[in-house]
Structure 1
Amino acid sequence: MAAQVHLAYDYPLLSAFWTMLWFFVWVLWFVLLFRIVVDVFRDDALSGWAKAAWLVLLIVLPFLGVLVYVIARGRHMGRREAAHLHRQQEAFDAHIREVAGTDTRSASGVDELAKLSDIRARGDISDEEFRRAKEKILH
């Protein structure tokens, strides 16, 4: 029993605080690094060479690279993120409208079919004319 036993009270409260602080700073650092890498790839204004240069800087000198990126291009990171989210939301909404069948084209098609049905009900067109017009609207 020559091994020394470390109990919880051997680790002072301030040391526990500093350990947690450094852990959270480390996690924050990786979150920032990954956000910058995503921002580099997402930015359409950058050429392929510029993207490669930023990535090399971020990999070779990560602390300096992140600092320089945030100073040079950090102001517009939020705008690019918001624009990306806006495009993503528009695409999602368009998909939902398409799947639900409430697309503006189909809404106008439904209106045209309703008008066509009323015209046929009044007897202004024959069933054959109604069928041809309906096929034209649906296709």
Structure 2
Amino acid sequence: MDSFWDFFWLLLSAFFFLAYLVVLIQVLGDLLRDRELSGWWKAVWVVFLIVVPALTALVYLVVRGRGMAERGDEAAARAREAYRGASSGRTPVDQIATARTLLDSGAIDEAEYRTLKERALA
């Protein structure tokens, strides 16, 4: 590197390359997270991401950007719920015992007990 400007352009191009990689990773993560999109459409998006990556990433953000944000919010909500369940201090055995007590007392019926049991074991 002979001058300051060579170094400056190197930093600028490295920044944009890393930003581009982050966008590609976000798009691929969203593709894999989306349960409504069929496997064939996912394959088509991935092929286009390999063949024409920058244009495909921009098109994906424009076409599916809103759904991308919603899926991200849903994933964050699921992670928060999992954390709350893990940090509540109640083990699945405790939750099932509580549900059994409620069933025996008549506060819930058999279907609700099975639901609570499945949720505790999940």
TM over 0.5: yes
1:76 matched to 2:67: yes
Which residue matches 1:99?
Answer: 91
* Correspondence list, 1:1-139, <5 A: 11-97=2-88, 98-99=90-91, 103=95, 106=98, 109=101
Question: Over residues 40-72 of structure 1, what are the superposed CA-to-partner deviations in whole Å (9 max), with x where a residue is unaligned?
Answer: 000111111111111111112111211110111
Q: Which 5+ residue runs of structure 1 have no aligned equivalent?
A: 1-9, 113-139
Give the CA deviation at 1:104: 8.7
CA distance in structure 1 between the partners assigned to 2:96 and 2:87 by the alignment? 12
- Comparing 98-107 with 80-89, greater Cα deviation is found at 98-107
Question: Over residues 15-59 of structure 1, what are the superposed CA-to-partner deviations in whole Å (9 max), with x where a residue is unaligned?
Answer: 211110100110111111011000000011111111111111111
TM-score, structure 2 normalization: 0.70
CA distance in structure 1 between the partners assigned to 2:94 and 2:87 by the alignment? 8
Larger Rg: 1
TM-score, structure 1 normalization: 0.62
Give the CA deviation at 1:12: 1.8
Letter in 2 for 1:58: L
Give the CA deviation at 1:103: 4.1
Q: CA RMSD in A?
A: 2.7
Q: How many residues align?
A: 102
CA distance in structure 2 between the partners assigned to 1:14 and 1:43 by the alignment? 43
Q: Secondary structure at the match of 1:45?
A: coil
Give the CA deviation at 1:84: 0.4
Q: Which 5+ residue runs of structure 2 have no aligned equivalent?
A: 105-122
Higher relative contact order by CA 8 Å / sep ≥ 6: 1 or 2?
A: 2
